Chain A
């Protein structure tokens, strides 16, 4: 195989490590679910999509902000999240990022610029337009990145948002993680033109499609588009990949063939990065084994942390509906008490 020397090669070990940590984390989310210790079953694993998370976040700076869709564990982890607090949130525990109120689909951390994961398809996209306005207004030099799935291309709000971003020249990047499916619907069953980035071109955005099996290619494409966005030329990046498992934990994907799945899973960004590392001599088998083992041990500990963590206290449910300086909503029981006290 032809070896290209240069910056992206030297970034590969870090990109591989990020991807390996994501996969290890996601496998443990699955395990926690099987043990019945997650809050609910609406858990969407990003296995197969690690290169999108690792490659794009590598192009982001510390002040950049972003939103994700419901399949956002990997992106948040790649951005630097504490996996133990993520796992606790997924278990609905108080020690989680959102005190057990949000869960897998509503994880957020303003400290890391994570403006929120979303359970509404397309729901997080327009916020990056506002974050782009904000960054420009405050002269922070930050960009804002919207991560969403191919399914969100069915939502009108994506087009409204792209139009505004292009019209106003905002520091914004739209990243469509095209894992070929929205639940059981294959992309070509949801749209007549599957060259998704062409839509962005029509609005006057920069646009590209990149193969999500190749994390270096993703990182390079993201770097180019992020630089352009920072200069006021917003863009759209479609990352082509494959959703290795079902839509959510309970979906066995009966709508696709085992052959197709085998083929899709063979396009594994981790396997490819690993092979490249060995080929190029950037890492030895022993080093990679040590790295893999460290990732697994780190993620094993997140399960222990999440299981041991406490449930949020019942009274906390009235907290954070409004600003903490404001009175909390009055509990129904207190209102009933007042009615009955009248007798």
Chain B
């Protein structure tokens, strides 16, 4: 058991994967000498050298495209996109190339690459550095999508992503890098694609992922003080999506809320709540409720930024109203 930050766990996963497999290479802006904009790749260039930890020019489309070609020819590239907000610049390489190559070419080759990036609010980074764009990825067939919330998952999901035979977009949350946990990295991780139930409670199910997990858990703690017990699910990966775990809990409990930091309309929460409504309809006592980001850009103003995304208060308040009669 060791105490690690989310950032350290990611670095450890990269280092362990690179030690085990000489074909794993890291490339991206400032990943080498600088150690990564958020420090995730610090010292990797010292330990693995500049041939495997490759500093690139500011050329996102070519970074992702190069990772695609490298993956098709025997390397295991882990490319870094400094902010998920820059995904638009890579969208052709990601959406038209990485995502479709296995399929278009009749299964001749896969594209075993990882695109690590980070997103979310919390640092007053403004409209072009604070978004939650996982829906772009989830909406693209052919891409896997992992979004770790815990330190242990930062490690295990990244190891699993690097081992994955298909392209994985791996989205970290900028507000979680300094979070600490005591973890046992040698322990057997849950299988790739399995959600985790982080809290059990019989009154409602809160489905979440990434940083919003903590807002959901804090809301659940406040709800418990009022006699309402929530089950909180951490999806861990959005593709594959572990809908079995969601279904099982929702069918048993009968009430569901989905929490996401991304904009509400046509977002991840929309997909999840539609699916719950369709597949668990007979078990639901209330409509599924989405608690998600506002349909607006993120402001640099700290006050407006905080007001743009869900927090524990909105989650707990909404849950209490769902349980109206019982609270």
Interface residues of chain A, those whose CB is within 8 Å of chain B, are 39-42, 92-93, 100-106, 118-123, 151-156, 182-185, 189-191, 255, 311-312, 314, 316-318, 321, 329-333, 335-336, 339-340, 342-343
Contacts and interface: CB of A to CB of B under 8 A. Distances in A.
B19 interface: no
Interface stretch (B3-11, B27-35, B191-199, B209-217): B27-35
Contacts of A92: 124, 299-304
Nearest to B61: A156
Contacts of A183: 29-30, 34, 37
A272 B113 CA distance: 51
26 contacts: A40-B300, A42-B125, A92-B299, A92-B304, A100-B301, A103-B124, A105-B126, A105-B128, A105-B129, A105-B300, A106-B300, A118-B128, A119-B128, A122-B58, A154-B59, A155-B58, A182-B29, A182-B58, A183-B29, A183-B37, A189-B55, A255-B34, A312-B301, A314-B307, A317-B304, A332-B294
A98 to B, nearest CB: 8
Interface in B55-94: 55-59, 61-62, 85-86, 89
The binding surface of chain B is classed by DSSP as: loop
A251 to B, nearest CB: 9
A286 B155 CA distance: 63
Contacts, number: 154
B117 interface: no
Contacts of B321: 340
B264 interface: yes
A39 B124 contact: yes
The 4 A-B residue pairs with the shortest CB-CB distance, nearest first, are A40-B124, A103-B300, A154-B57, A184-B34
Interface residues of B, number: 48
A42 B123 CA distance: 9
Interface in B115-148: 123-129
Contacts of B89: 120, 155
B15 interface: no
Contact of A106 (B33, B61, B126, B310): B126
B128 A106 contact: yes
Given A40-B124, A185-B55, A190-B57, A336 B301 contact: no
Interface stretch (B157-165, B221-229, B231-239, B284-292): B284-292
A189 B55 CA distance: 8
B186 interface: no
A41 B125 CA distance: 8
A332 B294 CA distance: 6
A88 to B, nearest CB: 11
B128 A317 contact: no
Contacts of A105: 126, 128-129, 300
Nearest to A119: B128
Given A190-B58, A339-B289, 5 more contacts: A40-B126, A105-B129, A119-B128, A154-B57, A336-B291
B191 to A, nearest CB: 34
Nearest to B126: A103
Contacts of A332: 264, 290-294, 310, 314
Contact of B287 (A123, A321, A342): A342
Nearest to B296: A321
Contacts of A190: 57-58
A70 to B, nearest CB: 9
A115 to B, nearest CB: 15
A318 B296 contact: yes
A312 B59 CA distance: 36
A7 to B, nearest CB: 38
Nearest to B58: A154
Interface in B293-327: 293-297, 299-304, 307-308, 310, 314, 318, 321-322, 324
Contacts of A317: 294, 296, 299, 304, 307-308
A118 B30 CA distance: 20
Contact of B264 (A123, A255, A335): A335
B206 to A, nearest CB: 14
A49 to B, nearest CB: 18
B33 A312 contact: no
Nearest to A149: B58
Given A190-B58, A318-B296, A100 B125 contact: no
A40 B201 CA distance: 38
Given A39-B124, A119-B129, A329-B296, A340 B318 contact: yes
A159 to B, nearest CB: 11
Contacts of B62: 156
A311 B324 CA distance: 35
Contacts of A189: 55
A156 B59 contact: yes
Nearest to B30: A183
A104 B129 CA distance: 13
Interface string B19-44: 00000000001100110010000000
Nearest to B62: A156
A121 B58 contact: yes
